[in-house]
């Protein structure tokens, strides 16, 4: 295979989220939910009935609240020039309308630590966690959610300004909605289709208002949304029209239904992509020739197809998450090569792809699944003071970033 050179200035990075790596985020709805469970019996202490999730509490996570400089040094060792991470809303606004300046100062230090190492900063404002006070108001089911969230977004823009290269308002709004209000695997564990529609619409509005709020501080600040998009395709012959209709409808629901209404409120699109879902006779029929530890089918053409589809929005695109659970680091090198080849193919077809952030920098708290899924290109030894141990694939990624190319 010949060398695939990426455009000059292409961003190579990794992504993380505050609750998954910082540790001791004691004032958000996830921490409260984690600790409302008796893990010896599986009983919910509030509801008085058994529940499966989460498998374990987050606790100290990776202690990145204190060890962020060590983490950024690892990014530098991989020759990265960008990093994506999130701030924890519940730290910055622990009580409704009351901000904690010490915590803003902490995140300013985190941002400066990244920038001083030559890392561009892509900052997520909401990555699944809500302050407890906001959750008790109904969170994004509350008709006034946009008031609280846009106010918070403006405060972040006031405090961080142009030290941030791009503000990413909300991470994966439809995943948050589905897990919290359809499958009931995440707090508040409400299985209610009506609520799910309300929350999706409110999240759209929250992004629009947050976009305006950030721009009111400085119109030159870059603002985007991070959207998880699954590629859907049919494995049926052309005459089984129902399968072809199904995958088009599913893809529209997962992509354009959400992005089209906010297309004039996007300076960039953040794409999170993990898997393709193939259908035959109205049933999932993935090849599963190669899967992650979570059983997700590893299929790079899906990423290329999505990138080409997003070209019509005429804004820069960043792959803000793409990775796999791979405890023994067996498939990660292959995965990086295949996915980045797909990215290069999309660029060659006119897609304005500006950067790639592997998920994740560190093995972290994988939400309701706890710590067993290992997405990190850096292993965390939880039995040895959270020691950071680069996986063999980290060396491969470092070569890619250094040479700005894939071989």
- Residue pLDDT tens, the chain, 407 long: 589 999 999 999 999 999 999 999 999 999 999 999 999 999 999 999 999 999 999 999 999 999 999 999 999 999 999 999 999 999 999 999 999 999 999 999 999 999 999 999 999 999 999 999 999 999 999 999 999 999 999 999 999 999 999 999 999 999 999 999 999 999 999 999 999 999 999 999 999 999 999 999 999 999 999 999 999 999 888 878 999 999 999 999 999 999 999 999 999 999 999 999 999 999 999 999 999 999 999 999 999 999 999 999 999 999 999 999 999 999 999 999 999 999 999 999 999 999 999 999 999 999 999 999 999 999 999 999 999 999 999 999 999 999 999 99
In angstroms, the CA 270 to CA 24 distance is: 28
pLDDT confidence of residue 63 = 98
pLDDT confidence of residue 280 = 92
Instruction: Give the contacts of 175 (CB within 8 A, at least 6 positions apart).
Output: 228
Residues facing 120 on adjacent strands: 82
pLDDT confidence of residue 391 = 98
Helix (H, G, I), strand (E, B) or coil at 61: coil
Handedness of CA 215, 218, 219, 220 (dihedral sign): negative
pLDDT digits (tens, 9 = 90+) for 308-354: 999 999 999 999 999 999 999 999 999 999 999 999 999 999 999 99
CA 45 to chain centre: 30
Closest CA to 56 of 82, 90, 87, 30: 30
pLDDT confidence of residue 188 = 97
The domains of the chain are located at 4-406
Whether the CB-CB separation of 29 and 132 falls below 8 Å is answered with: yes
pLDDT confidence of residue 1 = 57
User: What kind of fold does domain 4-406 have according to CATH?
Assistant: TIM Barrel (3.20.20)
Let me know the angle formed at the C-alpha of 140 by 134 and 143, rounded to the nearest 5 degrees.
Answer: 100
pLDDT confidence of residue 105 = 99
Distances (CA, A) of 282 to 163, 211, 227, 249: 49, 39, 25, 12
Helix (H, G, I), strand (E, B) or coil at 57: coil
pLDDT confidence of residue 235 = 84
pLDDT digits (tens, 9 = 90+) for 15-69: 999 999 999 999 999 999 999 999 999 999 999 999 999 999 999 999 999 999 9
């Amino acid at each position: 295979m010949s060398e695939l050179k990426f455009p000059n200035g292409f961003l190579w990075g990794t992504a993380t989220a505050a609750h998954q790596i910082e540790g001791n985020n004691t004032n958000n709805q996830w921490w409260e939910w984690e600790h409302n469970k008796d893990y010896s019996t599986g009983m919910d202490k509030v509801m008085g009935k058994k529940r499966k999730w989460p498998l374990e509490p987050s606790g100290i996570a990776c202690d990145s609240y204190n060890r962020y400089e060590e983490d950024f040094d690892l990014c530098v060792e991989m020759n990265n020039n960008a990093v994506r991470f999130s701030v924890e809303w519940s730290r910055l606004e622990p009580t409704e309308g009351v901000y904690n300046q010490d915590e803003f100062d902490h995140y300013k230090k985190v941002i400066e630590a990244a920038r001083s190492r030559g890392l561009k900063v892509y900052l997520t404002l909401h990555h699944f966690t809500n302050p407890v006070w906001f959750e008790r108001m109904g969170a994004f089911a509350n008709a006034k959610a946009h008031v609280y969230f846009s106010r918070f977004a403006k405060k972040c823009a006031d405090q961080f300004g142009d030290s941030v290269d791009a503000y990413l308002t909300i991470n994966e709004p439809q995943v948050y909605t589905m897990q919290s209000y359809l499958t009931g695997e995440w707090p508040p564990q409400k299985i209610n289709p009506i609520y799910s529609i309300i929350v999706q619409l409110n999240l759209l509005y929250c992004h629009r208002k947050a976009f305006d709020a950030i721009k009111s501080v400085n119109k030159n600040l870059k603002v985007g949304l991070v959207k998880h998009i699954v590629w859907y395709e049919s494995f049926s012959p052309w005459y089984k029209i129902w399968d072809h209709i199904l995958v088009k409808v599913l893809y529209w629901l997962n992509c354009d239904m959400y992005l089209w209404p906010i297309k004039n409120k996007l300076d960039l699109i953040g794409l999170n992509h993990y898997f393709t879902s193939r259908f035959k006779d109205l049933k999932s029929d993935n090849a599963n020739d190669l899967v992650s530890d979570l059983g997700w089918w590893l299929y790079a053409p899906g990423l290329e197809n999505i990138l080409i589809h997003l070209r019509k929005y005429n804004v820069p695109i960043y792959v803000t998450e793409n990775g796999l659970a791979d405890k023994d680091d067996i498939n990660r090198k292959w995965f990086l090569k295949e996915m980045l080849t797909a990215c290069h193919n999309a660029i060659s077809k006119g897609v304005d792809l500006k950067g790639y952030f592997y998920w994740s920098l560190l093995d972290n708290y994988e939400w309701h699944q706890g710590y067993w899924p290992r997405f990190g290109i850096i292993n965390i030894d939880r039995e040895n003071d959270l020691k950071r141990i680069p996986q063999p694939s980290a060396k491969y990624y470092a070569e890619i970033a250094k040479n700005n190319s894939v071989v």
